Structure 1
Amino acid sequence: MAMARRTRRKISKEEVMEKLKDDGDFDSLRLQIIRRLKDNEELRNSMISVVKESRALNGGDAQNMKPRQLSDAIFQEVGSKMLSQLSDGLWEIIRSEDGMKKEIRDTVQSVYATLSNPGGGPSTSVEVPKEDIKQPRFDPSSKQKQELIQGSVEENKGEAACSSTNNENCDDDEEDPELPPGFG
């Protein structure tokens, strides 16, 4: 009697990423990371301090500048320092056990398990093979990292200039969306 042997096909990292994106898990994790980054009071206070101490803000020309001009001047002066602080805070959240590390790992393992068991039979705990898990290696000039940080800075740099100048032209009524556009 020959026993049927079920072979397990290798799941690629691209398939896992596609499933994470298609199911909305990637966006959910991204939003949680951004919220934690925004809630980091120590980081927020440090960045506010950097802005308040900038020559652009404290110079005589600051009073005559439009909010956008002032924001751009401050960013030119202290942008790289702020990007570095944001990057450090971001990776601390992603890598720390009390941050998002466990949730990211659990989500990826769940998606891997789903892809490994497409028949939907009994659910079993599936460990992602170690050779399939690679720690991301980013250097500070990585395009992906720079785009993520730049987007966050662009989104919030006007807020920092407004809070430090008490400018009436700043719009404080704008709230963060609960869901990304198109997911409401």
Structure 2
Amino acid sequence: MFNLQLGGLDVVLSHLSGSHVAASIEASGVLTQLTNPQHAFVQLHNVGPILIRLLDLIDNCNTGETLLLVSAALSNVSMQDPQAVDVLYQNNAIIRLINAYNRQDCSTIFVQEQIVTVLSRLAARRYEEALVSQGAVPMLLEMLTVTDSHHSDYCRRIRYKAAVCIGTLAATGVGLKALYINQ
């Protein structure tokens, strides 16, 4: 906490916004810890540029580890401002997360938990048309069956969040139609 008082957050944000992708991804890991909703060491202001940079980094992730660092930061930061979900929508977060997850070596249950959290926030804010049109429904349905004997708690949370998100989608015409089509 002492380092934060001496400008540590500014250093993290500077590295995050820097041009070197690897350093920015590492900074997103630190940002994840600082914005953890259970501890909330910092309250960020003007999260729009941070979210946009995190989405740009997601486009560059090529391993499950890097995608986890960045998607966890995206999930945590998006909780800090009610307008954050709108920024995610405006910058095509849904398709960008899905595309990143579908890259070779990027699909882990830990990443799934972060992605389903973001998708659930978008569904709760009535972005069901974007979720449907950008291909989230097949991924959510797949998440309903996720299993891993070593990480059963993660899988349970993923299944629960996916079910809640699907329930939200099913309450709308476009969502219900997409669920029917994707069975």
Give the TM-score band, short-chain normalised: under 0.3
Higher relative contact order (CA 8 A, sep 6+): 1
Q: Which has the higher helix share?
A: 2
Higher-Rg member (1/2): 1
